[in-house]
Amino acid sequence: MQNDNFPPVADQPRAEKFKNDLMDKIVSLCKRRGFIYPGSEIYGGLSNSWDYGPLGVELKNNVKSEWWKEMTRRRENIVGLDAAILMSPKVWQASGHLTAGFADLLVECKKCHHRFRKDHLQNEKCPDCGGDLTEEKKFNLMMKTFVGPVEDEAAVAYLRAETCQGIYVNYKNVLDSTRLKIPFGIAQIGKAFRNEITPGNFTYRTREFEQMEMQFFIAPGENKKWFDFWKEERMKWYLNLGIKKENLRFKEHKKEDLAHYARAGVDIEYKFPFGWNEIEGIHDRGDWDLSNHGKHSGKDLSYFNEETKEKFIPHIIETSVGADRSTLAFFIESYREEAVLAGRQVMPTGRQEKRVYLNFAPVLAPYKIAVFPLLANKPTLVELAGKIYGDLREEFMVAYDDRGNIGKRYYSQDEIGTPFCITVDFQTLEDDAVTVRERDTAKQERVKIGELSDWLKSKLV
């Protein structure tokens, strides 16, 4: 966890927060097309909570699935895990999260009573009204709840603040039930909760969020080698999925900024419209976690190396990505506005205006392809388009549209990032081929119906 240089944002009405033009457009597109809605909206909303709609859940699932493939399927020494969100409170004592280590410094404005993180402020006055601020006090970020019917201290539990603790407490189980040898990793995707003082900037900082974490268990002394290795591997992942190099950078943690568990840390930052900010943290956690869990649980969490006959507490290099933050970064990165050339494309309004499209890497796009019959009132075209749609749906997320003209349908699919649209036209009835139109270039080619599935698979690698 690194303090990021955020513009100070208090927990105040959403509209005020999104002064940035591009963020306004993105938030509005997300709502209109079903990517992300404000949470609990019919009750006036719960501030800084967001719900993923039909397209948002596909996009975020694709991000998670690409991470999972990258971290587990493509690597024979990393396995998966799905641990419970509620864990014994002793876990959080041992990890240091219940003590000062996991607290932010909170200040409150004496006049308007808005609260801020001290490290997010540029000066000593309230950024909202200029009022004087209270003395700083430590504010623990753990979310507390009660387990069972009695709400007393004995029933206190915490919603996990980082998913990796579920990995540490299962490290021995994984070792005993697999044939893994050090170095090896355990990967997990799941929800985490933090009682953030100043959530904001859409899904960037929320109190409930999802993490994709991988903990890599190594022999002591190999820390630098593996830290550098994972740093480079993780950067490649974003680049391979279409984020431009100039929008990504590393930010090394200074000693005074290190999280309480880390000996070294680096963030991967993305250039958001609201500034450079962290999307992933890579930490050398040394033996902090396993040593502390060993001490607090009384269990031997050491590792015995059969070859060297050495016994040691493994050290850990972790890679920790926010699924929501990285999804937001992929969304922002993909947003494009393009002036429409006269006559080339008819917009729904009939006016010449800009084309908005999301140029997601095809693997990330919610829909991979959309199927259109050229005319909705020609049963032969509709029937064949329906069949192609049904067949492709067995393998891919496919949209179907027969409303309005083809231009409007392209516009609508571009706006949600569908990389390919196919049109069943009169020629299809003669040559068994369809016109495939590519989203970014608007280029068209004919593809045989029987080859569509393989053709599409070749675009999704």
Binding site for ligand GAP (CB under 6 A): 1, 162, 164, 194, 196, 205-206, 209, 211, 213, 278-281, 318, 320-322, 324-325
Q: How far is the CB of 316 from ligand GAP (least distance, A)?
A: 10
Q: How far is the CB of 360 from ligand GAP (least distance, A)?
A: 19
Distance from the Cα of residue 202 to its chain's centroid:
13
Strands (E), 313-352: 315-322, 335-339
Rounded to 5°, angle at Cα 13 from 9 and 18: 60
Amino acid at 239: L
For the beta carbon of residue 216, count every other beta carbon within 10 angstroms: 25
Q: What sign results for the dihedral spanned by CA atoms 176, 180, 185, 189?
A: negative
Q: How far is the CB of 201 from ligand GAP (least distance, A)?
A: 10
Q: How far is the CB of 86 from ligand GAP (least distance, A)?
A: 17
Q: How far is the CB of 92 from ligand GAP (least distance, A)?
A: 13
Which of 356-388 are b and which e, b meaning 16 or more Cβ less than 10 Å from the residue's Cβ? ebbbbbbbbbbbbbbbbbbbeebeebbebbeeb
Q: How far is the CB of 211 from ligand GAP (least distance, A)?
A: 5
Q: Closer to ligand GAP at the Cβ: 193 or 357?
A: 193
Q: Closer to ligand GAP at the Cβ: 183 or 190?
A: 190
Distance from the Cα of residue 73 to its chain's centroid:
19
Question: From CA 281, how far away is CA 329, in angstroms rounded?
Answer: 15
Q: Closer to ligand GAP at the Cβ: 4 or 414?
A: 4
Closest CA to 374 of 366, 384, 364: 384
Spatial neighbors of 39 by CB under 8 A, at least 6 apart, are 45, 46, 49, 50, 51
Q: How far is the CB of 193 from ligand GAP (least distance, A)?
A: 9
Question: From CA 290, how far away is CA 286, in angstroms rounded?
Answer: 9
**From residue 139, how far is each of 45, 101, 103, 128, 158 by CA, in Å?**
25, 10, 5, 21, 15
Q: Closer to ligand GAP at the Cβ: 166 or 419?
A: 166
**Residue with the closest Cβ to ligand GAP?**
322
Number of H helices, E strands in the chain: 13, 24
Structure tokens at 222: 């190999």
Q: Closer to ligand GAP at the Cβ: 270 or 389?
A: 270
Q: How far is the CB of 210 from ligand GAP (least distance, A)?
A: 8
Q: Closer to ligand GAP at the Cβ: 1 or 36?
A: 1
DSSP structure class, residue 132: B
**Which DSSP helix (H) or strand (E) runs through 258?**
none
Q: How far is the CB of 137 from ligand GAP (least distance, A)?
A: 20
Q: How far is the CB of 329 from ligand GAP (least distance, A)?
A: 9
Place of tokens 């709609």: 53
For the beta carbon of residue 151, count every other beta carbon within 10 angstroms: 11
Q: Closer to ligand GAP at the Cβ: 210 or 414?
A: 210
Q: How far is the CB of 395 from ligand GAP (least distance, A)?
A: 32
Angle, to 10 degrees, between the axis of helix 452-459 and the axis of helix 379-393? 50
Q: Closer to ligand GAP at the Cβ: 108 or 267?
A: 267
Q: Closer to ligand GAP at the Cβ: 70 or 324?
A: 324
Q: Closer to ligand GAP at the Cβ: 279 or 364?
A: 279
Q: Closer to ligand GAP at the Cβ: 35 or 209?
A: 209
Question: From CA 182, how far away is CA 315, in angstroms rounded?
Answer: 10
Sheet architecture: strand order including 86-87: 86-87, 156-159, 143-146
